[in-house]
Structure 1
């Protein structure tokens, strides 16, 4: 059945605009940068693997609009998610801190077995709240997955507006999780209230973003566009009847490479519409656009040249695409080997907006605005990860990575072996021990896992995770 909310002309128009964007961005990079705070459009995919874009090496998916962000700005090859799964990464992104500093960040992922009323503590500085204090209008469009409104929705944590799904996933046509043929949870909401909107969810989110840009006026804005694509259930625009017949969002027997490609390319078409709206309204010249993913890819993804998938601390589970453009400020067509993680976006974007991260709060993330704009050399980083499933731990320190997986310890030099196959642990035990101790010291500064976490009922709800 054709989706009544899908307008072929608008998508093709967006694609045409995206095809021209690289030239527009190159011309814009030569112009004087506009005065005033930049608008920010932060686009995050859900479960997109590192090599699922044309520009990062996909063998079969075409993403001209997303690619154009890197062509018009910078592409980082060493972008990381702060966790290998969704809601902990979103905690880190929102707070600019390691997610393990908050009880909600220990939910891997946030699900039905989580304590009732869980969410960030009131008053916690967030990406939205610190930009709001800078005079920005803030809006989340897409997936939240960090607590239920009205206690812990987006409006309670810095966003002025919200249209999106509250839970961690949703049927793309019914906009709810579906179990036993019935809608469950809050599903699609506007503000703190459930809402019904017809259409394929990826298109609904793209259309809302376009309207928001067109109606923005002169006040600087933050649009957090958090697509749920290409997260399961694997459904395209024409699959409404199929999804209804199956009656469950958890149909793990579904999906295919072709369907996955369809979902990613639908997201790319909506990114094209957003970029075209920025161009059409004259806002693109002073808008920062970021594209990334919340974690590594799942079963239909490509993560080459990395091993590992969503849920694992191997590079394929945490290395994600990262593209950024800001005409006149970020040199067009540039590449960077800067290591950057989800929690770095808060201090980085706040600085780009004219704010002072040190005055806004205490963050684990680092301001990398000078690195993104090419004004400073690559900054060496030490990044830490922890994941309860399979007893996982990781530390990336410079080129070296300590990895604990399934009770076994490994040591890799990522500059020489980014596929994590040449284990140096047997030949460099002193380095292994030093990195383990460094990880232990970090781990002592964050919250421990609660007793009884990851019980069998969690495993029942998330069979793909274990």
Structure 2
């Protein structure tokens, strides 16, 4: 059998179901342990903060070694009260694509914002915010957005088509444009006067003129505290809220606050929103870019590694960097105190993380030393920084707290990725996410049920024509490496990385990042070395050697993505490997047709279904699909609202380009392997051909097709003539024109 690989679970689909807010949540194959009402959710995202910048992740180790270190006491406390996720990846090593994947719940193989596409309009599809809103949440975004699209918001009524309030948020306060996030005093614009006017938007109005001396981390936090406090006093207080709090620090200009953090915390202390133009928050006093915390003001270090010589003062650049991170720490502590004061901390999920690794882009004026993340080892025990697919560019400091649900002091080392959070929040809200999302809910492991945890799909592709810095702290093979086209995938303990990709056949560098976090030993040079990874999927064999793992990664990265026309890759036209050749499958193992499952319910979107119990199931031929008269069950049971999920394999006769045509009378979604081939769920376009082309190798390819039927369509179907086509699936290939799929094309596993 050819050693090529498909989806981890080929017969079932990955996923989670979501119902309308008025519908009860479906019963899952593993019971949800949450007994409380829907929790509030606060997602805190920093900008360019490295894994190593947080005390409990790495800075405590620096302190023990007598090296310059940063302090983060409130984040450390947050970690003690909940869980540290030590092996979570960002979706991309730079801001815009990372945030787009986070919000959409999809990998960079399916996101429409890739590479360095700052201010590109995020896809009009299901988002973290829109799904939660449909489940009854009040939603608010605060801070940096940068995914709104290029069209300016002006007095003539034109607007950014992908502004937050068009992607599921009820309210937005913050920087709409990416470039504005380079400056942390919007009115004074101390270091970016050429980019003025800088704009802070509040419910459709630019209020920058009112923001004298407002340091943005303080501004966003004061607004967040004000919003939560007012919300908890409102008539809506019994309705849960979702807050996306996106800092734009420590990214860009390393500006300082106006003054020390205000005394106290929470409801009556700390940062406060005053709401007076010119004095909007209680730290809008003193001198902008002036305050340095005493922990850093007089800090010294051994600059020459000679204890016999006097220590010298930290360079001002690094004092500023430490101060920027410390201010975020104070803001988080203040926010957590507010939740406790309002007595909502026990029913609020708080997640803290960063968008990508640390940067060398400080944007300080002449006279300042440029920041190097080596001073604090901001990349932690790894190599790589922002724009790198080495671990330091994509491994994030992640903390999740939910008192009474997430056990305190937990350390989770299972691999996960940032686009897992949207599914996690949806499940915590009592429902399950769309099939469109690539992420897996992390709720099982977070709440102490690791055996029930789905495996995360960790995939990243990125282009940047630059080099990894030549820091002496990095492995010689990583220094000054040309990045260009890059890919990353993680499986179990192993990470596969490619830089400067020329073709789909390029070998991956393979590292065991559990035993070798610095990626010093490239296991690809030891092809016969044995490994133990059971793929646990039909028609595949366990991976036994590094050579077989190399084959797996080369196949898998083509099976989980779709090309994007404005983010060209050298492997876009590569043939997607099959999972097996038909002639090599054991006789009787595959039968002609497809297996199907019917999930009864009034669904808001096409759900992922792997954790759900079907109401009906059976097998069918391609001809059965056109009338929806599926054999082996009472047809009346299928004429109800619900989801029809079809699974099997399509037999591709020869290598080449194939085009699929799908027509349904209701929303549909189709995958080959894990690639999203046809998505006609969100914003269903009606009964018309949905067309998608893909390059395929000859052999068997897993097919997963989902069709959503609501109550009105079910009633129509019940009285329809059997000749009325409910589903039409056809294809064309290198040697044949468009035709319906036949029973000799489709197979299911016996």
SS state of the match for residue 311, structure 1? coil
CA separation of 1:189 and 1:400: change in aligned 2, threshold 3 A: same
Structure 1 residue 33: Cα displacement? 7.9
**1:86–1:109 contact (8 Å) kept in structure 2:** no
Write the deviation string for residues 101-148 of structure 1: whole angstroms up to 9, x where unpaired. 243x1242415xxxxxx41343x1111111111111100111101014
**Aligned equivalent of 1:447:** 564
Cα distance in 1 for residues equivalent to 2:454 and 2:36 = 28
Q: Aligned match of 1:200 in 209, 215, 225?
A: 215
Cα distance in 2 for residues equivalent to 1:206 and 1:175 = 18
How do 1:137-156 and structure 2 match up within 5 A?
137-148=138-149, 150=159, 151-156=161-166
**1:140–1:224 contact (8 Å) kept in structure 2:** yes
SS state of the match for residue 51, structure 1? helix
**Aligned equivalent of 1:170:** 182
Write the deviation string for residues 298-348 of structure 1: whole angstroms up to 9, x where unpaired. 234411211100000000000001100111111111111122211111110
CA separation of 1:379 and 1:202: change in aligned 2, threshold 3 A: same
**Aligned equivalent of 2:365:** none
Aligned length: 400
CA separation of 1:308 and 1:140: change in aligned 2, threshold 3 A: same
Q: Aligned match of 1:240 in 288, 291, 294?
A: 288
TM-score (norm 2): 0.51
1:261 maps onto 2:307 in alignment: no
Cα distance in 2 for residues equivalent to 1:452 and 1:373 = 39
**Aligned equivalent of 1:339:** 415
**Greater fraction of residues in helix:** 1
How do 1:393-404 and structure 2 match up within 5 A?
393-404=487-498
Structure 1 residue 406: Cα displacement? 2.8
**1:400–1:413 contact (8 Å) kept in structure 2:** yes
Q: Aligned match of 2:77 in 64, 68, 71?
A: 68
**Aligned equivalent of 1:294:** 355
Structure 1 residue 255: Cα displacement? 6.8
Cα distance in 1 for residues equivalent to 2:393 and 2:513 = 15
CA separation of 1:236 and 1:425: change in aligned 2, threshold 3 A: same
SS state of the match for residue 460, structure 2? strand
Structure 1 residue 451: Cα displacement? 6.0
Cα distance in 1 for residues equivalent to 2:148 and 2:220 = 20
CA separation of 1:161 and 1:176: change in aligned 2, threshold 3 A: farther
Write the deviation string for residues 141-195 of structure 1: whole angstroms up to 9, x where unpaired. 1110101453221111011111111122231112697887334465311133322
**Aligned equivalent of 1:350:** 426
Q: CA RMSD in A?
A: 2.5
TM-score (norm 1): 0.80
Q: Aligned match of 1:119 in 118, 121, 125?
A: 121
How do 1:25-424 and structure 2 match up within 5 A?
35-58=36-59, 59=62, 60-103=69-112, 105-110=113-118, 118-122=120-124, 124-148=125-149, 150=159, 151-168=161-178, 169-174=181-186, 181-184=193-196, 187-196=199-208, 197-198=211-212, 199-217=214-232, 218=237, 219-238=239-258, 240=288, 256-299=317-360, 300-301=372-373, 302-357=378-433, 360-377=434-451, 379-389=454-464, 390-407=484-501, 409-424=508-523
Moved more, 213-222 or 41-50: 213-222
Write the deviation string for residues 40-69 of structure 1: whole angstroms up to 9, x where unpaired. 111111100001011111232111112222
**Aligned equivalent of 2:525:** 426
CA separation of 1:336 and 1:350: change in aligned 2, threshold 3 A: same
Cα distance in 2 for residues equivalent to 1:69 and 1:334 = 11
Structure having the higher Rg: 2
Moved more, 259-268 or 403-412: 403-412
Structure 1 residue 448: Cα displacement? 4.7
SS state of the match for residue 490, structure 2? strand
SS state of the match for residue 240, structure 1? coil
Cα distance in 1 for residues equivalent to 2:121 and 2:34 = 39
Unaligned runs of 5+ in 1: 1-31, 112-117, 243-253, 454-466
Cα distance in 2 for residues equivalent to 1:277 and 1:183 = 35
CA separation of 1:89 and 1:177: change in aligned 2, threshold 3 A: farther
Unaligned runs of 5+ in 2: 1-32, 63-68, 154-158, 259-286, 291-314, 361-371, 465-483, 502-506, 528-546, 571-750
Cα distance in 2 for residues equivalent to 1:176 and 1:158 = 32
Cα distance in 1 for residues equivalent to 2:442 and 2:568 = 37
**1:297–1:317 contact (8 Å) kept in structure 2:** yes
Write the deviation string for residues 277-296 of structure 1: whole angstroms up to 9, x where unpaired. 11111111111010010111
**2:46–2:248 contact (8 Å) kept in structure 1:** yes
**Greater fraction of residues in strand:** 2
Cα distance in 1 for residues equivalent to 2:229 and 2:34 = 22
Structure 1 residue 271: Cα displacement? 0.9
**1:85–1:109 contact (8 Å) kept in structure 2:** no
Moved more, 140-149 or 85-94: 140-149
Moved more, 220-229 or 161-170: 161-170
**1:387–1:393 contact (8 Å) kept in structure 2:** yes
CA separation of 1:424 and 1:189: change in aligned 2, threshold 3 A: same
Of structures 1 and 2, the one scoring higher in RCO (CA 8 A, sep 6+) is: 1
Cα distance in 2 for residues equivalent to 1:292 and 1:232 = 18
